[in-house]
Amino acid sequence: MRIMFMGTPEFAIPTLKKLIEIHDVSCVISQPDRRSGRKYKLKCTPVKEIAVEKNIPVYQPESLRNEEILDTLEKYNPELIVVAAYGQILPKYILDYPKFGCINVHGSILPKYRGSAPIQWALINGEPETGVTIMRMDTGTDTGDILAISKVKINPNDTSGILFEKLSYLGADLLINTIRKLKDDEINFIKQDQNKATYAPMITKEMCKVDFSKSALEIHNLIRGLNPKPASYATIKDDNKTINIKILSSELPETENKLDVQVQPGSIVKILPGRGILVSTINNESIIIKKIIPENNKKMTADSFFINRKVDFFEI
């Protein structure tokens, strides 16, 4: 099948590679290259890097409005457009163009977690499972008919990084099977139940701050849901200087995590050499903070940072 592929980050790469193996990927549409890092260098999108390596033409429009890629559509005349984490809403002129429409690889079990951060929110909310949905796109945000779903169990210490990788490969395999059925007219299009829809909005910096007045499990889920990016954070005061600390990993104590004495949430209860620090939360619970990145510093264990500091608690 003659396919136009639209995608941007690492999540889309397994899908693109699978498509290249089996179908005619005539061109790739990706987000424009952006400057990033300390040296503010212009960086290609991960999808563009793969397309260039495979000698596939790449187009990077700033916007899809005003029929900006209509000439590209007419030039390559795709039978199907496949979208995986592209990063923009597709206007109707694109959705209506290909014979077989536009289908999307979405990292959740729709209609749950529509939106831009489904993997992170599944972890933050402590879901027992998640998955990938292949859906036919319409003008709404992840509201189109479902073509196929594949589910996976969420393990207790899965992070968003781990789940991104799992779901990216799961989605690639599911997509290839779905395209075959679509071409052979073997697909049952399933309408989404709007009453069961939930949303996974973009993660903001305000959402990333750890609130130690919440339960240990809620905090642990937030930390793993935001690992590796954008990462949760907490704040301390050291010598009257405010320091933001990214928190990369945590652990719930294996035994009963209730503390023997009542302490303020956010208190650093104990240094655990080689392991991290024990911090109090609401209801006298506790959590172990393990790997951190202090402001203007490198990744380290929390115990190595706090062992020689006169800091007793995190700011709430």
pLDDT value at position 239? 83
The predicted model gives 185-204 an average pLDDT of 96
Side-by-side strand order, sheet with 268-272: 250-251, 286-289, 276-280, 268-272
pLDDT of residue 143: 97
What digits encode the pLDDT tens for the residues 89-114? 999 999 999 999 999 999 999 999 99
Spatial CA neighbour of 73 closest among 29, 21, 33: 29
Q: Where are the beta strands (DSSP E) in the chain?
A: 2-7, 24-29, 34-36, 41-43, 58-59, 80-84, 102-106, 129-136, 146-153, 232-238, 241-247, 250-251, 268-272, 276-280, 286-289, 291-294, 300-301
* Closest by CA position to 288, among listed 312, 270, 300: 270
Report the candidate in 41, 57, 58, 167 with the shortest Cα–Cα distance to residue 113. 167
pLDDT of residue 232: 98
Are residues 135 and 157 in contact, defined by beta-carbon separation less than 8 angstroms? no
Task: Compute the average pLDDT of residues 270-275.
Answer: 94
CB atoms within 10 A of CB 33: 13
Under DSSP, the state recorded for 290 is -
Instruction: Report the relative pairing of strands 24-29 and 58-59 from DSSP bridges.
Output: parallel
Position 209 pLDDT exceeds 70 = yes
pLDDT band at 257 (very low <50, low <70, confident <90, very high): low
pLDDT at 38 over 80: no
Domain ranges of the chain: 2-196, 207-306
When the candidates are 3.30.1330.40, 3.40.50.170, 3.30.70.260, 3.90.79.10, the CATH number that belongs to 2-196 is: 3.40.50.170
The class (CATH top level) of 207-306 is: alpha beta
Average pLDDT over the chain reads 94
Q: What is the mean pLDDT of residues 278-282?
A: 95
Of 83, 80, 109, 110, the closest CA to residue 97 belongs to 80
3-state helix, strand, coil in the chain (%, to 5): 30, 30, 45
User: How much is the average pLDDT of 300-308?
Assistant: 95
pTM for the structure as a whole: 0.94
Structure tokens at 208: 């990333």
C-alpha dist (Å) from residue 229 to 24, 138, 273, 298? 33, 29, 26, 15
SS3 assignment for 245-281: EEECCEECCCCCCCCCCCCCCCEEEEEECCCEEEEEC
